[in-house]
């Protein structure tokens, strides 16, 4: 079974600064998908960014980018120019390629605080 580990229960960053959230995972599969989801206080989980394991290039979405290290099974999220609206719980998640059945495996989450 796959596991996802987020070792930082909470992170704090000054507005406009850059912060990196860590995520490691364990799997025996060679092909899979990785995701970062954001869960603001309004509760709905929103997809921030995703990475296909077969792609070597790190995914980027505006101020959000990942550092995907497949050999190390590491998938960190970098948020540049942090904004107050980035404050939320961030969950790293893993999905098998044919995983229509078993959905996502989540980490425990990192609570991101943005200091004004």
Task: Write out the residues near other proteins by the rule CB under 8 A.
Answer: 33, 35, 37, 42-47, 50, 52, 91, 95, 97-109
Q: Which is nearer to other proteins, 23 or 82 (CB)?
A: 23
Q: How far is the CB of 84 from other proteins (least distance, A)?
A: 21
The answer to whether the beta carbons of residues 30 and 98 sit under 8 Å apart is: no
Q: Which positions ≥6 away from 74 have C-beta within 8 Å?
A: 22, 23, 24, 67, 68
Q: Which is nearer to other proteins, 82 or 105 (CB)?
A: 105
Q: Which is nearer to other proteins, 68 or 82 (CB)?
A: 68
Q: How far is the CB of 86 from other proteins (least distance, A)?
A: 19
SS3 readout for 3-16: EEECCCCEEEEECC
Strand 105-106 and strand 88-95: the pairing is antiparallel
Q: How far is the CB of 13 from other proteins (least distance, A)?
A: 21
């Amino acid at each position: 079974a796959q596991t996802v580990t987020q070792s930082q229960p909470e992170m704090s960053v000054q507005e406009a600064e850059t912060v990196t959230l860590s995520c490691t995972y364990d799997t025996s599969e060679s092909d899979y998908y990785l995701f970062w989801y954001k869960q603001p206080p309004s509760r709905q989980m929103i997809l921030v960014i995703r990475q296909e394991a077969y792609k070597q290039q790190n995914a980027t979405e505006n101020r959000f980018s990942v550092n995907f290290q497949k050999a190390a099974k590491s998938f960190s999220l970098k948020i540049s120019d942090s904004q107050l609206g980035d404050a939320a719980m961030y969950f790293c998640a893993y999905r098998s390629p044919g995983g229509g059945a078993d959905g996502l495996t989540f980490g425990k989450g990192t609570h991101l605080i943005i200091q004004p």
